[in-house]
Amino acid sequence: MVPSHNGNNKQTGTDTVKRGLAQMLKGGVIMDVVTPEQARIAEEAGAVAVMALERVPADIRSQGGVARMSDPELILQIIDAVSIPVMAKARIGHFVEAQILEALGVDYVDESEVLTPADEEHHIDKHQFGIPFVCGARNLGEALRRIGEGAAMIRTKGEAGTGDVLEAVRHARAVLGEIRRLSTMPSEELMTYAKSIGAPYHLVKEVAETGQLPVVNFAAGGIATPADAALMMQLGVDGVFVGSGIFKSGNPAVRARAIVEATTHFNNPEILAEVSRGLGEAMVGINISTMSSEDRIAHRGW
């Protein structure tokens, strides 16, 4: 259970420590990797962390079947391969997968809609863990429910494995727009607003007062180019996850480096133009507007 003391006046697993790691990742790119070699390429390109998984979302989509937590053997190999933080995914509601990831020494758990959900009503009680969690959200209510459950970092869901940034933009605009609205709302309206978006009142009140989420907020789901990353940064997120977009492209090392540079220099069009040149083929992608609703995964999570 957390937080805990270790007898040396040190407290581990506190909210400050959990949220703090996400603060150190800001302005950076977190990359999906499926082998230790890919993890090393990501670190070499300047990734701030890697997400260890067996299949990138594009392959989960095309191959189908139940998508679960990765083999611990693979996760340990990736942990050994790099010096940067290693994240790994657990299924929504699958708290035992999360316990296993904690025991392996994973630095962050992504309770992810990209995997097949294990519970149709409940997410993991993330307060029970000493390591931090990141969760996806499509709007402010969903973000604050996850934070209420103990998430120490939020990301847009986007539509993973498509290479189409449309949904990530929609979710970032929704969350950030609702925060802007809240920050000008009279205090007597906050309870009704909390009820209408299904969010804990104390978090709604906190966001109204501070004008920002209490945790770091990244973009994820469909980011495939340096311009996509810079777009999300200009919209106001703190950093980006890139899933299939790097290792499903023609030249992963070059593209990875370009996306890292674009995330730092997101407000500098000259540099964005320079880093976007000659990257080889982007991932082919799927146009979200032509997808059937059963094929979409962003609606997973409650």
Partner 1 sequence: MRIGVLALQGDFLEHRRKLEGVDAEAVEVRLPEDLEALDALIIPGGESTTIGKLAVKYGLVEPIKAFAAQKPVWGTCAGMIFLAKDIGREQPLLGLMDIKVNRNAFGRQRDSFETDLEISRLDGGPLHAVFIRAPLVTEVDGNAGVEILARLDDGGIVAVQQKHLLATAFHPELTDDTRLHKYFVAMIQTS
Give the binding site for partner 1 (CB under 8 A): 6, 8-14, 16-17, 20-21, 23-28, 43, 46-49, 79, 83-85, 102, 105-108, 130-132, 260-261, 263-265, 268
Shortest distance, position 30 Cβ to partner 1, whole Å: 10
Q: Given the residues 10, 26, 89, 157, select the one marked as catalytic.
A: 89
Known catalytic membership, residue 157: no
Shortest distance, position 14 Cβ to partner 1, whole Å: 6
Nearer to partner 1, 8 or 292 (CB): 8
* CA 44 – CA 29 distance, rounded (Å): 12
Nearer to partner 1, 2 or 74 (CB): 2
User: In sequence order, what are the residues at sequence separation of 6 or more whose Cβ sits closer than 8 angstroms to the Cβ of residue 6?
Assistant: 12
Nearer to partner 1, 151 or 160 (CB): 151
Which long-range contacts does 230-236 make (Cβ < 8 Å, 24+ apart)? 230/262, 230/263, 230/265, 230/266, 230/267, 230/272, 231/165, 231/169, 232/156, 232/165, 232/168, 232/169, 232/172, 233/263, 233/266, 233/267, 234/266, 234/267, 235/169, 235/172, 235/173, 235/176, 236/172, 236/176
Shortest distance, position 37 Cβ to partner 1, whole Å: 17
Nearer to partner 1, 145 or 255 (CB): 255
Shortest distance, position 21 Cβ to partner 1, whole Å: 5
Edge to edge, what strands does the sheet with 216-218 contain? 216-218, 153-156, 133-137, 108-112, 86-91, 49-52, 29-33, 240-242
Nearest residue to 61 (alpha-carbon basis) of 298, 300, 301, 296 = 296
Residues classed as catalytic? 89
